[in-house]
Amino acid sequence: MNWTWFHRFGSPPYFYRVAGKMIPWFAWLAAITAVAGLVGGLGLAPADYQQGEGYRIIFVHVPAAVLSTMAYSVMAVAAGVGLIWRMNVAHAVAASCAAVGAWFTLVALATGSLWGRPMWGTYWAWDPRLTSELVLLFLYLGYMGLRGAIDDTARADRASAVLALVGVINLPIIHYSVDWWNSLHQGHTVLKFGKASMPPSMLVPLLLMMLAFSFYFAAILLVRARGEVLRRERNARWISEAIGA
Amino acid sequence: MSNATPTAVSSARAGWLLVQRDLRLGLRRPGEWLQPLVFFLVVTTLFPLATDPQMSRLRDIAPGALWVAALLSSLLALELLFREDGQDGSLEQLAVSGLPLSWLLLAKTCVHWLMTGLPLVLAAPLVATALGAPYAAIPGILAALLLGSVALSLIGAVGAGLTLGLRRGGVLLALLVLPLAVPVLIFGARATALAIALEPMAAPMYLLGAIVVLSATLAPLAAAAAVRISLE
Amino acid sequence: MMHWLNMGGYWMFVWPSYVLTFLAVVLNVYLARRSLQVAKTEARRRAQAQGSGS
């Protein structure tokens, strides 16, 4: 296994340059898959036999929820790398995840609630997925709160990295406990979308939208991470060349 | 001989010494350590006042009231965990002592639980009875709170380490710790509800036990990392 | 077209979901670009200050 790519990405100037080149690619991929997914989801996919047209919220709700958990995992992995190898670029990536993740957690909550109104007759039910998503939002807010409370960037990076790692270990436990709790109080509200029961005409647009959101996340993440790298490398000589000052 | 300092102690001995020191210090200031207990009693008193004092109704909210109050009061107590030692520099001494910091922090957390968690557990029968729980439910409630409060102290130690020395630490500490405590709350309240209904409570107790084991192994490591970062 | 916009009577829930998601997507693009822009301006200012100082 060749690890030079890993070390090269750890070098801020290299990361800054390569990230800048990768952003348009991710953005275009996101746009193309999103258009395909939207055409498939809003146009070609048939109405659900139980939920009619209302189920089409799935094409934004599920990708947003996937993005929100993916952002937390990326944040934790980057935080771990930053903590272990003392890699500033990794910390910059971790710092960039939280805000995007928190926004899309909010989107998942809002769209889930909009979906709930026609399906459950209420905007909010203590559905296990919505509840886990809500706890995830609190985890993000805690992470951002800790970062905001520490002035020194290096210390903020390392402290929030510990929190992200603790959080990522807790996340599956929280998911499990919330599922368990919900099963006791007989969730008639649970939305069931088994993978097997979903016809390809619905599944393909859903997967396309999930891909689109992932590419979108990658693009946004790199934009933010470039900014964070600049903030962390303030006095380095490469910066004046990179920004052309 | 040259590489060992004359006063070198084993980790086990150091832990024991730390337990003795913290206990002695704590017993000297009972007011500070009893405040979380008083808080617990006051909060649980508020529930009947805010809802319906009929015993049959109270019995339904008793598990929730007990656990939310226990969670909040353990949160309140967390500020005492590292604050004093952080301010007077003894925590720094522990960090540079060469002994495993996670082990020392585990010892500190144990004392902290003895002084703030255990009183809460011991007061629980009183509170539970006042909230309409039958006497037969008391052992179950005690067992659930015993496990739960240990887990809360361990998880809280990480948050206390992270917010050590921060100006607006209090609210932030709550924001950090409460989401992480959700599983403890769910399993603990469920075990208590089963105990009050006089039904077998093995399932949530096993899960609670698993959380205690997991947090006892991982939380001290995370807390040690957090304290080291905060002391930098 | 109207039939499609009506979403089988669910338009009140489907379209707000899509609009909301779209707004969040745009907002995050804006926030990310602004954050990078601020960092660049700051770095440029710093570089000039250093250049004139030495």
Q: Where are the domains of chain B?
A: 11-231
The mean per-residue pLDDT over the stretch B77-84 comes to 86
Mean pLDDT of chain B: 89
What is the Cα–Cα distance from A86 to C26, expressed in whole angstroms?
Answer: 33
Nearest residue of chain C to residue A38 (CA atoms)? C18
A223 contacts: CB under 8 Å, gap ≥ 6: A23, C32, C33, C35, C36
**Domain membership flag for residue A27:** yes
Contact list, C28 vs chain A (CB under 8 Å): 99-100, 103-104, 220
Q: What is the mean pLDDT of each run of 10 residues along chain A (245 residues)?
A: 75 88 94 92 78 82 93 95 90 94 95 86 84 93 93 91 94 88 61 59 89 95 93 78 70
Question: A144 CB near a chain B CB, below 8 Å?
Answer: no
Mean pLDDT of chain C: 84
In chain B, how many H helices and how many E strands? 10, 0
**Domain membership flag for residue A221:** yes
Distance of CA A181 to the CA centre of its chain: 25
Find the CB nearest A60 among C21, C42, C44.
Answer: C21
**Domain membership flag for residue A8:** no
**Domain membership flag for residue A107:** yes
**Is there a contact between A230 and C16 if contact means CB atoms under 8 Å apart?**
no
Radius of gyration of chain A (CA): 20
Q: Are there at least 3 beta-carbon pairs closer than 8 Å between C and A?
A: yes
**Domain membership flag for residue A244:** no
Who wins on pLDDT, B182 or B94? B182
**Is there a contact between B169 and A150 if contact means CB atoms under 8 Å apart?**
no
Nearest residue of chain B to residue A172 (CA atoms)? B183
Q: Which residues of C touch A (CB under 8 A)?
A: 4, 7-10, 13-14, 16-18, 20-21, 24-25, 27-29, 31-33, 35-40, 42-44, 46-48, 50-51
Contact list, A163 vs chain B (CB under 8 Å): 158, 162, 176
Find the CB nearest C20 among A56, A107, A245.
Answer: A107
Who wins on pLDDT, B13 or A144? A144
DSSP, collapsed to helix, strand or coil, labels residue A48 as: strand
- Domain count of the fold of chain A: 1
Q: Name the residue range of residue A33's domain.
A: 19-236
**Domain membership flag for residue A13:** no
Closest by Cα among A142, A110, A129 to A175: A129
pLDDT on residue B83: 82
pLDDT on residue B208: 94
Q: Are there at least 3 beta-carbon pairs closer than 8 Å between C and B?
A: no
Question: A135 CB near a chain B CB, below 8 Å?
Answer: yes
**Domain membership flag for residue A89:** yes
Structure tokens at A199: 């016809």
ipTM at complex level: 0.89
Query: What digits encode the pLDDT tens for the residues B104-159?
Result: 999 999 999 999 999 999 999 999 999 988 888 999 999 999 999 999 999 999 99
Structure tokens at A179: 């599922």
Q: Which amino acid is located at C18 in the chain?
A: Y
What is the Cα–Cα distance from B19 to B105, expressed in whole angstroms?
Answer: 10
Residue B167 has pLDDT above 90, yes or no: no
pLDDT on residue B123: 93
Q: How many CB atoms lie within 10 A of CB C53?
A: 6
